[in-house]
Amino acid sequence: KKNLIIFGTRPEAIKMAPLVNEFKKYNEFETKVCVTAQHREMLDQVLDFFQIKPDFDLNLMKPDQNLHSLTADIINELKNVLDQFKPDFVYVHGDTTTTMAASIASFYSGAKVCHVEAGLRTNDKRSPFPEEINRQIAGRICDYHFAPTIDSKNNLLQENIDEKDILVTGNTVIDALLDSANRVMDMQNEEIELLKSLINVNKKLILVTGHRRENHGQGFINICTALKQIAISNKDVEIIYPVHLNPNVKKPVYELLSNIDNIKLITPLPYPAFVWLMKKSYLIITDSGGVQEEAPSLGKPVLVMRDTTERPEAVEAGTVILVGTNVEKIVLETNKLLADTEYYTAMSELHNPYGDGKACERIISFIKHL
């Protein structure tokens, strides 16, 4: 059987890399990788670390890219790849424009389409934008749905997807993380060495990331205001913030947070250095989906800067707390975790609802038995 695994952004690459490498162990499958390169630099860093060489590289990233032309380009360019390779199964991931456009292109070409990380929903088609609509469309198109949790399976059942086409697998991000977490601690890596020289290990580290469109504008201004207050009132704390390259994020963050002693603004980190930094952190403040899933496996409490979430399991399990972009709430919850050791320890010992690192094995076993 011929597999084509398609992805385009950093988080998709991290979450698909273990599936690519696991499939390559099985001779009965011919597995090829196609990248749209919706993100270029951040994607290549991940490919490097997982030693994946794409068989097809559409290299579609353009300056000031809009969703319309990106979608059109992906569909057009993928047609050539699909015509040439004629895959039996195509695998798409999550909720990006690559996911949505690749599903429709593959469906038109007659492949069976498999959705990895299926069934996450806010059920508000405009939030997050465009992720929610991307994943809903992919959900309609795909033939097989690999849901990370029971909640995500239930969302799919509510949309009348046949139960036999859904498998609860856990999230492949945990497969990637467990494989990487030990490797990064003793690997020789330039960025990790740089981090070691930048960070004051005698202080409690707060790791911050953020990129969601819904937080652009006032959201990021509030986030920065809160971080500044935290830094000023807790001198024993150091905030490390790898700032996303999107100008809507970069501009306010550098304007508001430069020149504060205990706030270190750095460029986005390659995945191994980021995993190293997560392990070194005391707590994480983020709006990232992937980081919410990863952090509990490393015992790190997470404050999530969003009002709605497609990851209710994390809130229910108590591994994350939703703080939105409300300045008081971010400051209050951070100070509580900094001051109350018992509360902190209880949160860091909670079970991760996103899986056990065997998601890829489950996916492959399902496909083998079709």
Any catalytic annotation for residue 117?
Answer: yes
Catalytic residue among 22, 95, 175, 293: 95
The site map against ligand UDP for 258-297 (x = CB under 6 A) is ----------xx-x--x-------------xxxx--x---
Catalytic residue among 10, 115, 135, 211: 211
- Minimal distance, residue 112 CB to ligand UDP, in Å: 25
- Minimal distance, residue 232 CB to ligand UDP, in Å: 24
The site map against ligand UDP for 98-137 (x = CB under 6 A) is ----------------------------------------
Query: If binding means CB under 6 A, how many residues of this protein chain bind ligand UDP?
Result: 16
- Minimal distance, residue 7 CB to ligand UDP, in Å: 12
Q: Which is nearer to ligand UDP, 209 or 215 (CB)?
A: 209
- Minimal distance, residue 96 CB to ligand UDP, in Å: 8
Assess 141 for contact with ligand UDP (CB under 6 A). Answer: no
Neighbours of 11 (CB within 10 A): 25
What φ, ψ does residue 45 adopt, rounded to 5°?
A: -60, -40
Per the listing, tokens 């068989």 go with: 55
In angstroms, rounded to a whole number, what is the distance separating the alpha carbons of residues 108 and 213? 30
Any catalytic annotation for residue 131?
Answer: yes
Residues 6+ apart with CB under 8 A from 60: 8, 36, 37, 38, 70, 73, 74, 77
What would the DSSP string read from start to end of 314-369?
A: HHHHTSEEE-TT-HHHHHHHHHHHHH-HHHHHHHHTSPPTT--S-HHHHHHHHHHT
Cα–Cα distances in angstroms (integers) from residue 285 to residues 174, 253, 307, 343, 345, in the given order: 19, 14, 14, 17, 17
Pair type for strands 30-35 and 112-116: unpaired
Q: Return residues touching ligand UDP (CB under 6 A).
A: 10-11, 14, 173, 209, 211, 242, 268-269, 271, 274, 288-291, 294
